[in-house]
Structure 1
Amino acid sequence: MNPVKYKGRAGGIFYLLFRNLFFLSLVLPLFFLLLFSFTERYAWPELFPTSFSLRSFKSILFQRKALFQDTLFSMVFSLLVSLCTVLVAFCTAKYQNEEGLKGKGLVAFLVNFPIMIPATVFAMGAQILFLKIKIFNPFITVFLAHVLYALPYAVSFLQEGMSRKMKLYEEQARVMGAVGGKLFWKISLPLLYPYIFPAFMMSYILSMSQYILTLILGGGKVKSLSLIMVPYIQSGERNLASAYGLIFLSISFLLFFLLDFLEKGIQRERG
């Protein structure tokens, strides 16, 4: 038997197996999430549920006003966190990309520090810090903690976009008279948008799914979507927890397509 041919055949089989397993790992959780969100009763030893209803979605959207308000608040809160994170990341990446400035190594270390330590340790340290500087408002403390925790990821995306080529474009635009806001909107933003897009989405997903930071710093007054879901998971109400999971996925996909639509619009304007 030809070893080269055997090796190529084995590699092809391994690739197909890996691809199918990867596909199933994405599809099966989504399938069970859909199944459980419409399940009213799932008794052992039934292989599939026998009782279905829309009670979970009706409960969230219509019957429990407080749950709907908490869900809406968590969405708006995470969007504001994402917007602020991208703005801070832009300033940080701009500073680190400038030549001749001192302290860039220290700034890079401080920015990446939240991902070097566990989330629980970061939450406890942030709580002590906010108490020492006398910031007692739970909404402000959770907001700042979410921004700090998502900042390293956003900065890494934007630093990738602030290459030498972007500097040349900005210098050429200044020569042609573009300064200030005009330079940012016409040159910097269109060039950076492919990197702002994933930075915004990553910040949004981290904020929406953050549990430890929100629980410790918020004290139960600030609720993220994960903080709302966990009690239902612990109490065995899988239909409500699955419905919240679908809502989270739907919002994320909607935001993704909206940002993708804006990116295509910007590219069409640039021609």
Structure 2
Amino acid sequence: MRIGRNIRLLVTGLSLLYILIPMLVTIPASFTSASYPSFPPEGLSFQWYTKLLDRPEFIEAFFNSVKFALLASFFGVLFGTLGAIAIAKYEIPGKSFLVSVLTAPLTVPQLVLGVALLIYFTPLMLAGTQTGLLIAHIIICVPYVIRFVLTGLSGFDYTLERAAMILGANPLKVFWRITLPLIRPAILSGALFSFLISFDNVTVSLFMVSSGMRTLPLEIFSNMQDAYSPIVASVSSVVIIISVLLILILEKLHGVGRLVGGAHE
């Protein structure tokens, strides 16, 4: 039994190491004093972080990513929460099929999704526009919100809503005073995860952006095609730190493991 436990611990440790290797390499490499990325870093310098301020393309791309991530998470939470509540509360014909369709972007490869959106958006004159990029990001964010909110509603006591309505509360007040406070952690978790998914997205964004509209992950990708310099490592480290902070907040609010928890269907 002890041998089996040690094997599980070893496999878990190796898995965590495999996942953390990009951070363990990229972040130290961003502090190198050399003019090329090196690991272990040669010397210790913050020069590549200060030089970010002299690269307006990275600054502009960062704010573009934040803008689209905020908008995508807002609309993703709006549509995803309403959809999840409707699925959980009402007997809808073909509910299982509907859930599968709404959460399909979770299983479809993003490369395939990006190609499909490009084909669909091109006749609508949305390809290469900010509106098209925003819609694409909303599409990939909504399934995560639905999954979180359905998980939050899985143990929801609907007698509380019925009791409030018997006492004279209208449906809007019932939602605002009863339903929303109970599922708020799930909604906030969906919002944070949506922001993270949108902010870090490369594959779908690659098909939706134009030469005059860039996001930070795409700017990093573009610069790495030309030459991998320490400034790319410093930008990547900023993205990693933001992602880790959001994941820690998400774990505190709702628990990352509950994303794949059972949903009420």
Shorter-chain TM band:
0.7 to 0.9
In 1, the alpha carbon distance for the partners of 2:108 and 2:86 equals: 24
| Correspondence 1:53 to 2:45 | yes
In 2, the alpha carbon distance for the partners of 1:197 and 1:30 equals: 26
The Cα offsets for residues 92-148 of structure 1, whole Å up to 9 and x where unpaired, read as 112212333335345324312333432222222212222334445611111111111
Whether the 8 Å contact between 1:161 and 1:192 is mirrored in structure 2 is yes
Q: Which runs of 5+ in 1 are unaligned?
A: 1-7, 264-271
Tell me the percent identity. Answer: 24
Q: Which amino acid aligns with 1:240?
A: I
In structure 2, the partner of 1:144 is 135
Whether the 8 Å contact between 1:74 and 1:224 is mirrored in structure 2 is yes
Name whichever of 189-198 and 130-139 sits farther off.
130-139
Matching of residues 76-115 of structure 1 within 5 Å: 76-102=67-93, 104-115=95-106
How far does residue 212 in structure 1 lie from its aligned partner after superposition?
A: 2.1
SS at match of 1:39: coil
| Correspondence 1:12 to 2:5 | yes
Q: Among 198, 210, 219, which residue is 1:228 paired with?
A: 219
| Correspondence 1:200 to 2:221 | no
How far does residue 245 in structure 1 lie from its aligned partner after superposition?
A: 2.3
Q: TM-score, normalised by structure 1?
A: 0.79
Whether the 8 Å contact between 1:158 and 1:192 is mirrored in structure 2 is yes
The Cα offsets for residues 169-199 of structure 1, whole Å up to 9 and x where unpaired, read as 2222222333344333322222112222332
RMSD, aligned α-carbons: 3.0
Whether the 8 Å contact between 1:42 and 1:49 is mirrored in structure 2 is no
In structure 2, the partner of 1:38 is 31
In 2, the alpha carbon distance for the partners of 1:27 and 1:10 equals: 25
In 1, the alpha carbon distance for the partners of 2:194 and 2:180 equals: 18
In 2, the alpha carbon distance for the partners of 1:174 and 1:71 equals: 46
SS at match of 1:222: coil
How far does residue 261 in structure 1 lie from its aligned partner after superposition?
A: 8.5
Q: Which has the larger radius of gyration?
A: 1
How far does residue 255 in structure 1 lie from its aligned partner after superposition?
A: 4.4
How far does residue 47 in structure 1 lie from its aligned partner after superposition?
A: 6.6
In 2, the alpha carbon distance for the partners of 1:179 and 1:50 equals: 66
The Cα offsets for residues 10-67 of structure 1, whole Å up to 9 and x where unpaired, read as 11321332343344345543332221111132779x873324422221122x212332
In structure 2, the partner of 1:172 is 163
Count of aligned residue pairs for this structure pair: 254
Q: Which has the higher contact order (CA 8 A, sep 6+)?
A: 2
Q: Which amino acid aligns with 1:33?
A: T
In 1, the alpha carbon distance for the partners of 2:247 and 2:10 equals: 30
Q: Which structure carries more helix by proportion?
A: 1
Q: Which amino acid aligns with 1:48?
A: P
SS at match of 1:132: coil
Q: Which runs of 5+ in 2 are unaligned?
A: 255-265
| Correspondence 1:29 to 2:22 | yes
In structure 2, the partner of 1:189 is 180
